Amino acid sequence: MKYLGQLKYFLGIEVAYSEQDIIISQRKYMPDLLQETSKLASVFIERNHVISFEEEITKVDKGQYQRLVGKLI
């Protein structure tokens, strides 16, 4: 095994060190996720929205939503 120094970033988790603590966060991961989500924003609808027959239904890519939910989990 090779020592690569202190851990800084691993699997979407940023690691910061202070004299007394080790701090982990997903500060970098969340903006990336929000940017990807903004691409899907055009297909989101408001809560309790009822779609009428006259309203155009936007086709939704099921795979994109599954990936997004997986990332949120």
User: Cα–Cα distance between 42 and 17 in angstroms, integer?
Assistant: 40
Residues contacting residue 13 through CB under 8 Å, at least 6 positions apart: 24, 25, 26, 29
Ranges of each domain in the chain: 29-73
pTM listed for this prediction? 0.43
**Residue 35 pLDDT:** 78
Q: Kindly give the confidence (pLDDT) of every residue in the chain, 73 residues in length, as a single tens digit, with 9 standing for 90 and above.
A: 888 888 888 887 889 898 899 988 887 777 877 777 776 655 556 677 676 666 565 666 778 778 877 877 7
